Structure 1
């Protein structure tokens, strides 16, 4: 008998329009598959693509669905190419994976014991939101300011990064890449 928590679907692998010559591909989940996920915002999944296991964070596409970046290694292991329709099976993981902490934030937290203590008490999802808020800065000076502000806010007891729209539905700050033609 199949596991009802697993979401099965097919999707077409697309190349991003930029950067030119990108080695990765992406796919947009069908609305029916995305609707079965626990949130419209970023969501971690364990899955298979053409039978090859992967773990990833799906990104919101700003349209109420999600998209998945498919790296070259996974695509090649699955024997797939841009333009192919691939079979996927995904489900939220039993345990939320820890996000990779960027070097600048890691260094700032190392020098701020109260912020580091608060950071350690957060869930992986909350830490991912802080990292996303910092990484979404378009300019280096904005990112530097956000790292400093994050440490200050964490040290003062704040647990949530900010008030950004995690789904991209309202701010349009999140979206799937434009496919190459």
Structure 2
């Protein structure tokens, strides 16, 4: 098995790798994504709180790549990157999330 390509911050978890490897066309699309694009998909999958949501996101990631998308649809973006500040939208999401958790 060849080395698996990961993101800039996140490593691809085993369940996501298995889903990507299960279809050669999807694996090729994954390998052709930029490291930042791969990172966004990984972060989106990893951010799921429930196992069912995680499985839906893995399936949707495969579908979106087959549709030609380079990043997950409707995702604020990885907040774990240290090479740039969070966008205004990410900051708003984080503030809203913290406010709800504190309530």
What is the CA–CA distance in structure 2 between the aligned matches of 1:98 and 1:122, rounded to whole Å? 15
Answer whether contact 2:45 2:54 (CA < 8 A) is retained: yes
Unmatched runs of 5 consecutive residues or more in structure 2:
1-6, 78-85, 99-103
Counterpart among 92, 96, 101 of residue 170 in structure 1: 92
Answer whether contact 1:112 1:151 (CA < 8 A) is retained: no
Moved over 3 A (4+): 96-99
SS class of match (1:148): helix
TM-score, normalised to structure 2's length? 0.67
What is the CA–CA distance in structure 1 between the aligned matches of 2:17 and 2:62, rounded to whole Å? 10
What is the CA–CA distance in structure 1 between the aligned matches of 2:17 and 2:97, rounded to whole Å? 25
Residue 116, structure 1, aligned to residue 38, structure 2: no
Higher-helix-fraction structure: 2
Unmatched runs of 5 consecutive residues or more in structure 1:
1-95, 176-181
Written as runs of structure 1 = structure 2, the 5 A alignment for 1:43-62 is none
Residue 163 of structure 1, CA deviation: 2.4
| Cα distance change, pair 122–174 in 1 and its aligned pair in 2 (3 A) | farther
Which entry has the higher C-alpha Rg, 1 or 2?
1
Q: How many residues align?
A: 80
Higher-strand-fraction structure: 1
Written as runs of structure 1 = structure 2, the 5 A alignment for 1:65-84 is none
TM-score, normalised to structure 1's length? 0.40
What is the CA–CA distance in structure 1 between the aligned matches of 2:14 and 2:26, rounded to whole Å? 16
In structure 1, the partner of 2:44 is 133
